[in-house]
Structure 1
Amino acid sequence: MSDVITATAHLTAVADQLVSGSIEVVDLTAPLHGGTPILELPEPMGQTARFQLEEISRYDDRGPAWYWNNFRTGEHTGTHFDAPNHWITGKDLDDVSQVPAQRLVGAAVVIDRTAEVSADPDYLLDVADLRVWQEENGPLPERSWLLYRTGWSRHAEDPAAFANLGENSPRTPGLTPAAARYLAEETGILGMGVETVGTDAGAAMGFEPPFPCHSFLLGAGKYGLTQLCHLDKLPVTGAVLIAAPLPIVNGSGSPCRVLALVPTDGN
């Protein structure tokens, strides 16, 4: 009973701090619209649909007092959640509706490589980077979200710059296969969040294995969050992240709202 009383007191304190402003809610979600960048695969592979709104009524004879729309898009459009069954290595694991709600919330930790990516858009985070981070900040917390800050979200409203197509593949940052395997097999993180169109580097089709973040992390029952923004507003440690995908039955993912609770000085 004492544990329940203590937990209740903690939650009440959080609610009070949200009201007072000593905890800020930072929206890490990119606005979703028809110009939102999407992943474009080489032909003849199947392609995802761009986001589209279809008006049903707008305070008119189709509906005099209400405005609403149908929408059409892919599961993996804009800021979105990758469920384990999105990849062949996780095909027998959870779809997005089966992911336990408890696993959508966790501590957020940020690894910042904006300077390196600014100098080299093909920059790959490696195991050495992850070990240095842990030497400086402590072990990656259990059931946390690792957020990879690259500054790429500055291109979010420019699809050409966001894709950054090179001669043979997109030139966007990601992880080495060794780093992806390390996160999947040697840490207890919930998953990884990135600012780019997918968790893998633009050149990852040519890696071994291809698309190692998808292959290793989703195969290990972990998750991906993509096209995040405002990671510069988060501390290296000390924030809490909430990911809220739609519980689409048999879905491999979903556009989602991603929020971070960040301590402030209240001013």
Structure 2
Amino acid sequence: MRRPLIALSLLVSLVCVLPAYAADNTRLWDVYAQQLKGVKYVSLSHVIAPNIPVWHGFGPSKFEPAIDPADGHAYTYAKDGFEATRYTLATDQLGTQLDPPAHWAPEYPSIDELPASYTLRPLVVISIVEQVKKTPGYSLSVADIEAWEKQHGRIPEGSVVFVRSDWSKRWPDPALAALEHFPGVSLPALKFLHEQRHILLHGHEPLDTDDSPNLEGEAWLMHHGYAQAEGVANLDQVPEVGALVSIGFPRFRGGTGGYASFTAICPPDWPHGVVADPRRDAPLPRSDKPLKWDATKGVRVR
């Protein structure tokens, strides 16, 4: 009778352990249900379109309906039951971007080699809006960072620091790409953030880190193995402290730049953003204005 008793004892022990294991195994679901389900989400990325600002050295991009290579006809809802788009993108430095260090330094990671741990981080937003109103080419300084910390506390290690300048409020005016002076981030500030505060990366609204003749900030970042975000938007809609940022990007093989999706995750009582809504998010709402190809704009519109 010993074997049945031993088996029964093991079964009882297993039954007692399983609930505790299951509860521990789903603790992240509990975090979502208790802490994240009611938060506000704010997109920090621009929509990519053919006419958005881009450096003249890259040239324009083009959107077209995808075609069947067998007969050259463009796929249509009426004939084929679906439509698709062909994107001729002049560069991977387009719109809101995540720059891997390989953009300037081939010995460092390309976009497909960035670790999955970039996905979610604490978000710090430092505003230089008032300084930019007086000096359009103002750059974030170490003093600005220290003033932020005096008010909000030390910048968390491994966080993402976005610099708000409101430069992006003129987007998508193509003239933005031709401005001689624009808000930047100084080299001392970059060194302080990375070497003293050990952040993951910083981001800025313009399409370059600074307007120095040799782009000294970007050069230093890339040649020291740091990534950066460019073309960030809507920083006036997120808090300076307390939010998270979700980072998404396509992993092009050997890519030296990346189209990025940054989303701020803000407290539930934050006045901006949208809340996850199962009645709206899936299935998505039906529009009474179907998408149609607009040849004059070179995109689909409603």
Q: Given the two structures, how large is their TM-score scaled by the length of structure 2?
A: 0.74
- Once residues 129 and 168 of structure 2 are traced to their aligned partners in structure 1, the CA distance between those partners, rounded to angstroms, is 11
Report the Cα offset of residue 110 of structure 1: 0.4
**Residues 189, 3 of structure 1: CA spacing in aligned structure 2 closer, same or farther, 3 A cutoff?**
farther
Task: Please name the residue that 1:27 is paired with.
Answer: 43
Per the TM alignment, residue 107 of structure 1 is displaced from its structure 2 partner at its CA by 0.7
Structure 1 residues 48 and 6: alpha-carbon distance in aligned structure 2, compared to 1, 3 A threshold: farther
Map 1:111-122 onto structure 2 (within 5 A): 111-122=126-137
Give the drift of 1:182. 2.0
Structure 1 stretches of 5 or more lacking a match?
41-46
Matched, 1:65 2:117: no
1:204 maps to: 212
CA shift for structure 1 position 86: 0.8
CA distance in 1, matches of 2:189, 2:203: 14
1:238 aligns with 2:242: yes
Identity %: 24
CA contact (8 A) 2:244 2:266 kept: yes
After superposition, the CA RMSD in angstroms is: 2.4
The aligned residue for residue 13 of structure 1 is 31
Partners of 2:153 and 2:45 lie apart in 1 by 28
1:175 aligned partner, one-letter code? V
1:138 maps to amino acid? G
1:67 is paired with a residue whose SS is: coil
- Given that 1:30 and 1:79 are in contact with CA atoms closer than 8 Å, whether structure 2 keeps it comes out as yes
| Structure 2 contact 55–178 (Cα < 8 Å) conserved | no
Deviation of the 1:266 alpha carbon: 7.9
Does structure 1 residue 123 correspond to structure 2 residue 138? yes
Q: List aligned pairs for 1:150-161, cutoff 5 A.
A: 150-160=165-175
Q: 1:107 aligns with which of 122, 130, 143?
A: 122
1:183 aligns with one of 193, 209, 212: 193
Alpha-carbon distance in structure 1 between the residues aligned to 2:233 and 2:166: 8
Residue range with higher mean Cα deviation, 228-237 or 182-191: 182-191
State the shift of 1:68 in Å.
0.4
What is the number of residues matched between the two proteins?
Answer: 245
Q: Is the CA contact (8 Å cut-off) linking 1:193 and 1:224 kept in structure 2?
A: yes
**CA–CA distance in structure 2, aligned partners of residues 58 and 194 of structure 1:** 39
TM-score by length of 1: 0.83
* CA spacing shift, 1:23–1:64, aligned 2, 3 Å: same
Whole-Å Cα distance in 1 between the matches of residues 187 and 270 of structure 2? 41
- For residues 4 and 77 of structure 1, do their structure 2 counterparts lie closer, same or farther at Cα, with a shift above 3 Å needed? farther
**One of 7, 18, 38 as aligned partner of 2:54:** 38
Q: Is the 8 A contact 1:164 1:172 kept in 2?
A: no
**What is the match of residue 281 of structure 2?**
none
Q: Is the 8 A contact 1:79 1:227 kept in 2?
A: yes
Equivalent in 95, 101, 107 of residue 78 of structure 1: 95
Task: Pick closer, same or farther for the CA change 1:111–1:218 going to 2, 3 Å.
Answer: same
Q: 1:28 to 1:7 in 2, by over 3 A?
A: farther
Deviation string 1:3-27 (CA, Å, 9 cap, x unpaired) is 99558434433256555xx301111
CA contact (8 A) 1:181 1:212 kept: no
